[in-house]
Chain A
Amino acid sequence: MTVKYTEEHEWLKQDGDEVIVGITEHAQAQLGDLVFVELPEPGIKVAKDDEIVVIESVKAASDIMAPLDGEVTAVNEKIVETPSLVNEDPLEEGWFFRMTLDDPSEFDDLMDEQAYKAFIG
């Protein structure tokens, strides 16, 4: 599976017609222990940079934005029950939502792993 990254510290994994979205190891380490996650309703249309997920760490609230235009198809209810999954396994068990992309070519324009590593220094 191809994995891409945004400047907002999200990762996107291509899975058939959909992408799976979560936050990076770097992001979870910066945020600290997550204690609350609010996810969007599956089926909603989203535009890039829409604030569609609210997360709260012990320190503060943050928003997770839609990485690209598209439609949310599924959300990970497990992280609502157990927000610490995001800290423990941000790249697998701690995924946030799945979405289809209005323009799949935009996925290719995102950063690859090497570019993201350079971005976070």
Chain B
Amino acid sequence: MQRGYRMTDLKTTPLAQLHRTLGGKMVPFAGWEMPVQFPMGVMQEHLHTRAHAGLFDVSHMAQLRLEGANRVEALERLMPVNVAELKPGRQRYGLLTAADGGILDDLMFANMGDWIYVVVNAARADHDIPHIQSATSVEVLDRALIALQGPKAEDALAALNDAVRDMRFMDARVMPLIDGDCIVTRSGYTGEDGFEISVPKAEAVAVVEALLEQEGVAPIGLGARDSLRLEAGLCLYGNDIDETTTPVEGGLIWAMQKRRREQGGFPGADVIQRQLAEGTTRQRVGLQPEGRAPVRAGTTLHAVENGPVIGTVTSGTFGPSVGGPVAMGYVETSQAQPGTMLYAHLRGKYVAIRVATLPFVQQTYKR
């Protein structure tokens, strides 16, 4: 449990009552009361999502509508990302950077034609909204957001609107599922094919109940969301990337398209361009402990037993689909080659841990 929150201070999503009815165990998360698990349990919820379909409440994330005439230039001034050439109906991963090249947040944005749809992390919303507002006008959308992930996601969502079958990975469309307009993107944060669906608040419970009636769909909590994203090699902001890590160190060069890398014009461009040319002293890597013990965030890494610290684990848990512990963290660049054997200092012992290629599980996006 995170300290510093009383349940009564927490914000609730339109689905909170439904989570309770479904037996969800509610915990504080980034100022919100969210289900960490349902009666199935984290392990089975994780495996169910990869085998069938998992339904997640991610309404705690902030949804923004940018419709100012300067919205494209404004976002390009804040992110090392190509906003201008993202076609209508397409979504992209983005990063807000600071003047020193650190990452202020990661986000998803989509070109909806005459406006841009942005989804930012719950824990960073209070920072991001004024930050983006300083560059262009921002409307905060008071809507529910759900993720439907896994091999049965398409069939389940198609039962509400068959048009989703025509979408491919990172497509974004507005369509009704019951009555009101929903913003549907074919994306997610589990490594599985699936959708994120922005729903008018008043329809949220009805949409979720309709999806839960479909074959193979089960409610999934934040616990399984974390192990799913870690197996998929995806960063958790605040753990794996933050203001002290740059996109180059974080292995997110792919998120900065060529024009932006070459031309700059975003916060921290000098640092990031220098790192692109000269390399960095540390790198984010996948880590696979040799034994069965999970190696958690904060554990130090060493090239030799009793040697100096050469890195730190930033996320670590048991990967139910991998069938063993999985982790990621930062190591000195000289130790970052996949296959490199390192030692994690765990409860006074040095435990073998190998640098691994990310992701740990094959992504099944519908490209």
Task: Write the residues of chain A forming the contact surface with B, with a CB cutoff of 8 angstroms.
Answer: 32-33, 35-36, 38, 54, 56, 58-61
* A32, A35, A59, A60: residue with the most chain B Cβ atoms closer than 10 Å: A35
Task: Compute how far the CA of A26 lies from the CA of B9 in the bound complex, rounded to whole angstroms.
Answer: 28
Are B223 and A56 in contact, CB atoms less than 8 angstroms apart?
Answer: no
Task: Compute how far the CA of A33 lies from the CA of B221 in the bound complex, rounded to whole angstroms.
Answer: 14
CB contact list, B167-187 vs A, under 8 A = none
**A56: nearest residue on chain B (CB-CB)?**
B294
Are A36 and B318 in contact, CB atoms less than 8 angstroms apart?
Answer: yes
Question: Interface size bucket, B side?
Answer: 10 to 19
CB contact list, B212-251 vs A, under 8 A = 223, 227
CB distance from B123 to the nearest CB of A (A): 19
Are A38 and B317 in contact, CB atoms less than 8 angstroms apart?
Answer: no
Are A58 and B317 in contact, CB atoms less than 8 angstroms apart?
Answer: yes
Across-interface contacts of A32 in B (CB, < 8 A):
37, 41-43, 223
* A38, A58, A59, A60: residue with the most chain B Cβ atoms closer than 10 Å: A58
A58-B223, A58-B227 given as contacts; is B41 within 8 A of A38 (CB)?
no
B320 at the A interface (CB under 8 A): yes
Are B42 and A59 in contact, CB atoms less than 8 angstroms apart?
Answer: yes
**The 6 residue pairs across chains A and B that have the minimum distance between CB atoms:** A35-B318, A33-B43, A58-B42, A36-B293, A36-B292, A56-B294
Task: Compute how far the CA of A54 lies from the CA of B351 in the bound complex, rounded to whole angstroms.
Answer: 15
CB distance from A85 to the nearest CB of B (A): 14
A32-B223, A35-B318 given as contacts; is B296 within 8 A of A61 (CB)?
yes
Across-interface contacts of A56 in B (CB, < 8 A):
293-294, 318
B3 at the A interface (CB under 8 A): no
Question: Secondary structure of the B side of the interface?
Answer: mixed
Across-interface contacts of B46 in A (CB, < 8 A):
58
CB distance from A24 to the nearest CB of B (A): 17
Across-interface contacts of A36 in B (CB, < 8 A):
292-294, 318, 325
CB contact list, B249-302 vs A, under 8 A = 292-294, 296
B6 at the A interface (CB under 8 A): no
Q: A32-B42, A54-B347, A58-B223 are in contact. List 19 more A-B contacts (CB 8 A).
A: A32-B41, A32-B223, A33-B41, A33-B43, A35-B294, A35-B318, A35-B325, A36-B292, A36-B325, A54-B293, A56-B293, A56-B294, A58-B43, A58-B318, A58-B320, A59-B36, A59-B223, A60-B296, A61-B294
**A84: nearest residue on chain B (CB-CB)?**
B43
Task: Compute how far the CA of A61 lies from the CA of B41 in the bound complex, rounded to whole angstroms.
Answer: 17
Across-interface contacts of B317 in A (CB, < 8 A):
58
**B224: nearest residue on chain A (CB-CB)?**
A58
Across-interface contacts of B292 in A (CB, < 8 A):
35-36
CB contact list, B97-136 vs A, under 8 A = none
The contact sample of 15 A-B pairs, CB cut-off 8 A, is: A32-B41, A32-B42, A33-B42, A35-B292, A36-B293, A36-B294, A38-B293, A54-B293, A56-B293, A56-B318, A58-B43, A58-B46, A58-B227, A59-B36, A59-B223
Task: Compute how far the CA of A2 lies from the CA of B42 in the bound complex, rounded to whole angstroms.
Answer: 34
Task: Compute how far the CA of A61 lies from the CA of B320 in the bound complex, rounded to whole angstroms.
Answer: 16
Across-interface contacts of B37 in A (CB, < 8 A):
32
CB distance from B169 to the nearest CB of A (A): 28
Task: Compute how far the CA of A121 lies from the CA of B292 in the bound complex, rounded to whole angstroms.
Answer: 34
* B39-69 interface bits toward A, Cβ cutoff 8 Å, 1 = contact, 0 = none: 0011110100000000000000000000000
